[in-house]
Amino acid sequence: MIQLRGVEKWYPYQGGRTWVLRNVDLDIEPGDFLTIMGPSGAGKSTLLSILGMMDSEYDGEYRFHGRDLRTLKGKQRAALNKEHVGFVFQRFHLLDDLTVYENIEVPLTYRDVRRSEREARVAEVLDRFNIVAKKDLFPNQLSGGQQQLVAVARAVISRPSLLLADEPT
Protein backbone atom coordinates (compact mmCIF):
# COMPACT_ATOMS: atom_id res chain seq x y z
CA MET A 1 0.00 0.00 0.00
CA ILE A 2 2.76 2.48 0.98
CA GLN A 3 6.38 2.40 -0.06
CA LEU A 4 8.91 5.11 0.78
CA ARG A 5 12.42 4.97 -0.61
CA GLY A 6 15.12 7.45 0.33
CA VAL A 7 12.64 10.11 1.48
CA GLU A 8 14.36 13.25 2.75
CA LYS A 9 13.13 16.62 3.93
CA TRP A 10 15.12 19.68 4.93
CA TYR A 11 14.61 23.35 5.65
CA PRO A 12 17.02 26.18 4.87
CA TYR A 13 18.76 27.41 8.01
CA GLN A 14 21.50 30.05 8.37
CA GLY A 15 22.78 29.56 4.85
CA GLY A 16 22.71 25.77 5.13
CA ARG A 17 20.21 23.00 5.67
CA THR A 18 18.51 21.57 8.71
CA TRP A 19 17.54 18.00 7.96
CA VAL A 20 14.20 16.81 9.31
CA LEU A 21 14.13 13.43 7.56
CA ARG A 22 17.13 11.56 6.13
CA ASN A 23 16.94 8.54 3.84
CA VAL A 24 13.63 7.13 5.14
CA ASP A 25 12.67 3.71 3.75
CA LEU A 26 9.30 2.33 4.81
CA ASP A 27 6.84 -0.33 3.65
CA ILE A 28 3.29 -0.41 5.01
CA GLU A 29 0.83 -3.09 3.93
CA PRO A 30 -2.98 -3.06 4.35
CA GLY A 31 -3.88 -3.92 7.94
CA ASP A 32 -0.50 -2.89 9.34
CA PHE A 33 -0.40 -0.87 12.56
CA LEU A 34 2.67 1.30 12.86
CA THR A 35 3.80 3.58 15.67
CA ILE A 36 6.40 6.25 14.98
CA MET A 37 8.12 7.42 18.14
CA GLY A 38 10.84 9.92 18.85
CA PRO A 39 11.67 13.11 20.73
CA SER A 40 10.08 16.45 19.96
CA GLY A 41 11.44 17.86 16.71
CA ALA A 42 12.50 14.46 15.36
CA GLY A 43 10.34 14.76 12.22
CA LYS A 44 7.35 12.59 13.19
CA SER A 45 4.74 15.19 12.19
CA THR A 46 6.67 15.97 9.01
CA LEU A 47 6.66 12.30 8.05
CA LEU A 48 2.92 12.07 8.73
CA SER A 49 2.32 15.15 6.56
CA ILE A 50 4.18 13.46 3.72
CA LEU A 51 2.36 10.15 4.24
CA GLY A 52 -0.97 12.03 4.33
CA MET A 53 -0.12 13.76 1.04
CA MET A 54 -0.29 17.22 2.60
CA ASP A 55 3.41 17.91 1.97
CA SER A 56 4.83 17.25 -1.48
CA GLU A 57 8.10 19.13 -0.96
CA TYR A 58 10.48 16.26 -0.24
CA ASP A 59 13.13 14.23 -2.02
CA GLY A 60 12.85 10.50 -2.64
CA GLU A 61 10.12 8.15 -3.78
CA TYR A 62 6.63 7.70 -2.33
CA ARG A 63 4.34 5.09 -3.83
CA PHE A 64 0.74 4.82 -2.59
CA HIS A 65 -1.36 1.91 -3.88
CA GLY A 66 1.25 1.50 -6.60
CA ARG A 67 1.10 5.12 -7.76
CA ASP A 68 4.21 7.29 -7.71
CA LEU A 69 3.05 10.46 -5.97
CA ARG A 70 5.88 12.52 -7.46
CA THR A 71 4.27 12.14 -10.91
CA LEU A 72 0.84 13.37 -9.76
CA LYS A 73 -0.37 16.94 -10.03
CA GLY A 74 -1.70 18.70 -6.93
CA LYS A 75 -5.34 18.00 -7.75
CA GLN A 76 -4.60 14.32 -8.35
CA ARG A 77 -2.80 14.04 -4.99
CA ALA A 78 -5.69 15.86 -3.29
CA ALA A 79 -8.19 13.44 -4.85
CA LEU A 80 -6.12 10.46 -3.68
CA ASN A 81 -5.93 11.97 -0.19
CA LYS A 82 -9.68 12.62 -0.14
CA GLU A 83 -10.44 9.05 -1.17
CA HIS A 84 -7.98 7.17 1.06
CA VAL A 85 -6.69 9.20 4.04
CA GLY A 86 -8.15 9.94 7.46
CA PHE A 87 -6.07 12.25 9.65
CA VAL A 88 -6.27 13.06 13.36
CA PHE A 89 -4.30 16.25 13.76
CA GLN A 90 -2.21 17.09 16.80
CA ARG A 91 -4.46 20.06 17.57
CA PHE A 92 -7.67 18.33 16.33
CA HIS A 93 -8.62 21.14 13.85
CA LEU A 94 -12.31 20.96 14.66
CA LEU A 95 -14.35 23.71 13.03
CA ASP A 96 -15.52 26.02 15.82
CA ASP A 97 -18.72 27.14 14.11
CA LEU A 98 -19.90 23.59 13.40
CA THR A 99 -21.53 21.20 15.86
CA VAL A 100 -20.05 17.82 16.74
CA TYR A 101 -22.43 16.22 14.22
CA GLU A 102 -21.44 18.66 11.48
CA ASN A 103 -17.71 18.30 12.19
CA ILE A 104 -17.98 14.53 11.85
CA GLU A 105 -20.04 14.86 8.66
CA VAL A 106 -17.55 17.16 6.86
CA PRO A 107 -15.37 14.44 5.22
CA LEU A 108 -18.46 12.75 3.78
CA THR A 109 -19.63 16.04 2.30
CA TYR A 110 -16.28 16.45 0.55
CA ARG A 111 -16.61 12.93 -0.82
CA ASP A 112 -20.08 13.67 -2.26
CA VAL A 113 -21.76 10.98 -0.15
CA ARG A 114 -25.56 11.14 -0.42
CA ARG A 115 -27.33 12.81 2.48
CA SER A 116 -29.18 9.67 3.60
CA GLU A 117 -25.93 7.69 3.75
CA ARG A 118 -24.16 10.58 5.55
CA GLU A 119 -26.89 10.63 8.19
CA ALA A 120 -26.66 6.86 8.71
CA ARG A 121 -22.86 6.87 8.96
CA VAL A 122 -22.73 9.83 11.34
CA ALA A 123 -25.37 8.21 13.57
CA GLU A 124 -23.35 4.97 13.60
CA VAL A 125 -20.09 6.75 14.50
CA LEU A 126 -21.73 8.91 17.17
CA ASP A 127 -23.07 5.73 18.75
CA ARG A 128 -19.79 3.81 18.41
CA PHE A 129 -17.85 6.64 20.08
CA ASN A 130 -20.56 7.11 22.72
CA ILE A 131 -21.01 10.81 21.91
CA VAL A 132 -24.64 10.87 20.72
CA ALA A 133 -25.54 13.22 23.60
CA LYS A 134 -22.84 15.67 22.42
CA LYS A 135 -23.94 15.86 18.76
CA ASP A 136 -25.46 19.36 19.00
CA LEU A 137 -22.61 20.89 21.00
CA PHE A 138 -19.83 23.05 19.58
CA PRO A 139 -16.13 22.24 20.09
CA ASN A 140 -15.69 24.96 22.74
CA GLN A 141 -18.35 23.21 24.83
CA LEU A 142 -16.34 19.98 24.95
CA SER A 143 -13.43 18.84 27.10
CA GLY A 144 -10.09 18.17 25.43
CA GLY A 145 -10.72 14.43 25.56
CA GLN A 146 -14.15 14.84 23.98
CA GLN A 147 -12.67 17.02 21.23
CA GLN A 148 -10.14 14.29 20.54
CA LEU A 149 -12.92 11.70 20.28
CA VAL A 150 -14.72 13.90 17.75
CA ALA A 151 -11.49 14.32 15.77
CA VAL A 152 -10.99 10.53 15.67
CA ALA A 153 -14.65 9.99 14.72
CA ARG A 154 -14.25 12.50 11.89
CA ALA A 155 -11.09 10.72 10.68
CA VAL A 156 -12.72 7.26 10.53
CA ILE A 157 -16.16 8.28 9.20
CA SER A 158 -15.09 7.90 5.57
CA ARG A 159 -13.57 4.45 6.16
CA PRO A 160 -10.09 5.43 4.95
CA SER A 161 -7.54 2.87 3.84
CA LEU A 162 -4.90 4.94 5.68
CA LEU A 163 -5.53 6.44 9.12
CA LEU A 164 -2.86 8.79 10.47
CA ALA A 165 -2.89 10.17 14.01
CA ASP A 166 -0.41 12.83 15.15
CA GLU A 167 0.06 12.70 18.95
CA PRO A 168 -3.11 10.62 19.50
CA THR A 169 -2.78 10.40 23.30
| Residue-level pLDDT at 93 | 87
3-state DSSP percent of the chain in helix, strand and coil, to 5: 40, 25, 35
| Residue-level pLDDT at 82 | 86
Q: Which pLDDT tens digit goes with each residue over 72-120?
A: 998 999 889 888 998 888 777 899 999 999 999 999 998 889 999 999 9
Q: Which pLDDT tens digit goes with each residue over 152-165?
A: 999 999 999 999 98
Give the type of residue at 64: F
Quick check: 3 pLDDT over 90? yes
| Residue-level pLDDT at 114 | 96
